[in-house]
Amino acid sequence: MTTNERDGDAAAYTEELACALDVARGAGELIARYYREGVETWEKSKDNPVTQADLDADAFIRNALRDAYPGDGLLTEESEDDLSRLKCSRVWIIDPIDGTREFTKKIPEFAVSIGLAVDGEPVLGVVHNPIENVTVAGRLGAGVTKNGEPTSLATCSSLGSARVAASRSEERDGKLEPYDALFGELVPTGSIAWKLALVACGEFDFNLSVKPKNEWDVCAGDFLVHEAGGAYVDFEGKRLGYNGRDPMRRQSMAAGSKALLKEFFDKRPKPEPRDD
């Protein structure tokens, strides 16, 4: 990454963001058609559904970005990872449908997620919900927009009044019970990319998740929260890096304003020390 890009040059990644927006909306049109008309569904693994819409949207996005930026690497959920991306400084990190379970159940809480990482650092993000027709997007140094209008984090100043976008499965399985008392309201919401986008544009105050995530789930949303002035960090306060050999991120993660994150780290239950 050049110095100007790192410092948020006003023109940095303008063309890439425009391309990502066009590609996300094109994929969204395809996905919306399947949503209306129905689509074949199967499981890649237990409780991990995939549909023909995922595969077709993945191919659409890959082909469009490869045509536009043939020298860039690609990491997507639905394509084989041959690790050639590890030789690339610039890598597009893509989930064609983040929230496939919601998609199959006709719950409109899923999104196309497209992020670009340069030297492991996210520099732009697009999260597009084709059913709600909401697009949250941004590029380094230019802020975040919701459907083209500037947006920002919520102004909530206390966890006790915070509305928290929470994973349906994590709440159902009792994974968030240790944290319930810290927050004003936990709202089950689909797709981690969508949840992070909603935090970035102030629809929710906070997000936490204790289950592992892949880079393609969170790269775009991570960028959007960060660019909006917040942070998406693990429970030790560290931000993720991207384009790792293993795209799985096993840390528990939280997103929100820096003030709410500090309060969360101060108050969250700490693990009991182990007897070695």
pLDDT one-digit tens code per residue, 16-63: 999 999 999 999 999 999 999 988 887 877 777 889 999 999 999 999
Paired tokens of 199: 């935090």
pLDDT at 127 over 80: yes
pLDDT band at 9; cut points 50, 70, 90: low
40 and 173 within one domain: no
Confidence class for position 143, pLDDT limits 50, 70, 90: very high
- pLDDT tens across 95-124, in order? 999 999 999 999 999 999 999 999 999 999
Task: Record the pTM.
Answer: 0.93
54 and 8: one domain?
A: yes
Q: Are 122 and 20 in contact (CB under 8 A)?
A: no
- Alpha carbon distance 82, 241 (integer Å): 19
* Residue where one domain finishes, among candidates 151, 171, 195: 151
Looking at residue 67, its pLDDT comes to 97
**pLDDT at residue 271 in the model:** 65
For the chain, the average pLDDT equals: 93
* Beta carbons of 129 and 111 less than 8 angstroms apart: yes
- Judge if 169 and 123 occupy the same domain: no
Alpha helices, H only, the chain: 3-6, 14-37, 52-68, 100-104, 168-172, 192-200, 215-227, 258-267
What pLDDT score does 276 carry? 46
Mean pLDDT of 158-176: 95
Considering the domain architecture, whether residues 14 and 94 belong to the same structural domain is answered as yes
pLDDT tens for each residue of 230-248: 999 999 999 999 999 999 9
Flag whether pLDDT at 3 surpasses 50: no
Q: 99, 134, 151 — which closes off a domain?
A: 151
- Give the pLDDT confidence score for residue 62 in this predicted structure: 97
